[in-house]
Amino acid sequence: MNKKENLLSTKGKKNLRHFKNVGLGFKTPREAMEGHYIDKKCPFTGNISIRGRILTGTVIKMKMQRTIVIRRDYLHYVKKYNRFEKRHKNMSVHLSPCFRDVQLGDIVTVGECRPLSKTVRYNTLKVMKSGGSKKSFSKF
Amino acid sequence: MGISRDKWHKRRKTGGRMNQMRKKRKFELGRPGSNTKLGPRRIHTVRTMGGNKKYRALRLDTGNFSWGSEAISRKTRMIDVMYNASNNELVRTKTLVKSCIVQIDATPFRQWYEAHYASPLGRKKGVKLTEAEEKVLNKMDNASKKLKKKYEARKKLAKVEPALEEQFSASRVLAKISSRPGQCGRCDGYILEGKELEFYLRKLKTKKGK
């Protein structure tokens, strides 16, 4: 970062933004490479490594600063009745500022990282827009 | 053991309280902060979990600081604490913590630079140098051709950024602590350069202005 050529030459040139490829085939968004935000918990421009589980969910709340609540639906099998029942778990997940157009109901892919706060252990890696479906049950 | 690092005293994510399942355990303990000050070296060792050691520095005055763009490190004296992002009180009481800005004595770095590049760094005009320093700066006068070529090649990269050169002329350079004195007992860090230096100079100026 403090390399000599950078210190003396770069007088406001490309401005040396740090970003990285998180691996596992996830594309780092253009907004992360060209934006100006600073987020130490962003998987692309911050000090976070994504390792462990990769999960998906749908966005239900976006009221927190830089973090969202996603809902993961699943079916639980009851042996006695040979049938399934619907269950869901909510999860708080960090959302980097590079994902700008996120609406309620979007499907989001999250990857496991180290604990970022009391309840946040996952970080958003990819956002897929939803058609328009609201809080209906959809299994992944 | 009053300070405890347990989780069960906090509420759950849903807001519900957690019933106390057990008393405080030794592996959940916390110890009071070291508040290491600037002064003659005083380090206490602490026996930690597993029989390992932590070196609690209570007073420190020297540290190993690196000059990033030249990729060298030298042990230097720390002179003063200039800025702390968390708390102005820590600046007033000269407390050394990770990521606080200190002023360090620049002479070892200047000595290395003048020996490596054979050109003066931060010397005021008209100030006489001692004989030893003159010899180092003028060693090119009696050098062989090959040696001269080596130093000519080095001179291409010898430029130091102006903000840093100003600090060298006062023999006081700003550096940031990057070790944790209360854990490892050392106060090491790196010299501020580039955008970081600009940022902290600006912060110091507004503080002085107020």
Cα–Cα dist A51/A35, whole Å? 25
Rg, C-alpha atoms of chain A: 18
Nearest to B180 by CA among B77, B40, B54, B46: B54
From its phi and psi, is residue B61 left (phi > 0), alpha (psi between -120 and 50) or beta? alpha
Residue of B nearest to A3 (CA): B69
Partner-chain contact B69 A1, CB within 8 Å: no
Q: Do A2 and B193 touch (CB under 8 A)?
A: yes
CA distance A121 to chain B (A): 13
What is this model's ipTM? 0.77
Indicate the pTM of the whole model.
0.83
Contact predicate A62/A102, CB 8 Å: yes
Q: Kindly identify which residue of chain A lies nearest to residue B10, measuring between CA atoms.
A: A118
> Which parts of A21-99 are beta strand (E)?
54-61, 67-78, 83-94
Q: Do the chains contact at A3 and B161, CB–CB below 8 Å?
A: no
pLDDT band, very low/low/confident/very high, at A58 (cuts 50, 70, 90): very high
How confident is the model over A126-138, as pLDDT tens digits?
999 876 655 555 5
CA–centroid distance for B6 within its chain? 33
Contact B193 A8 (CB under 8 A): no
Return d(Cα A29, Cα A79) in angstroms, integer.
Answer: 44
Looking up tokens 């099998």, which residue turns up? A77
d(CA B136, CA B114): 7
Residues of A in contact with B10 (CB under 8 A): 118
Span B180-198, average pLDDT: 93
Give the per-residue pLDDT at A117: 95
Give pLDDT, residue B117. Answer: 87
| Residues on chain A touching B193 (C-beta within 8 angstroms) | 2, 7
Average pLDDT over residues A96-116: 94
Residues of chain A with pLDDT > 90, as a percent, come to: 77
Residue B158 — pLDDT band, cuts 50, 70, 90? Answer: confident
Chain B residues with CB under 8 Å of a chain A CB are: 10, 13, 68-70, 157, 159, 161, 190, 193-194, 196
- What separation in angstroms does the CA of A86 have from each of A78, A108, A139, B12, B195? 11, 20, 10, 24, 54
Say how far residue B172 (Cα) sits from the centre of its chain.
12
Per-residue pLDDT of B121-140, as tens digits, reads 887 776 666 766 777 777 76
Interface of A with B (CB under 8 A): 1-4, 6-8, 92, 118-119
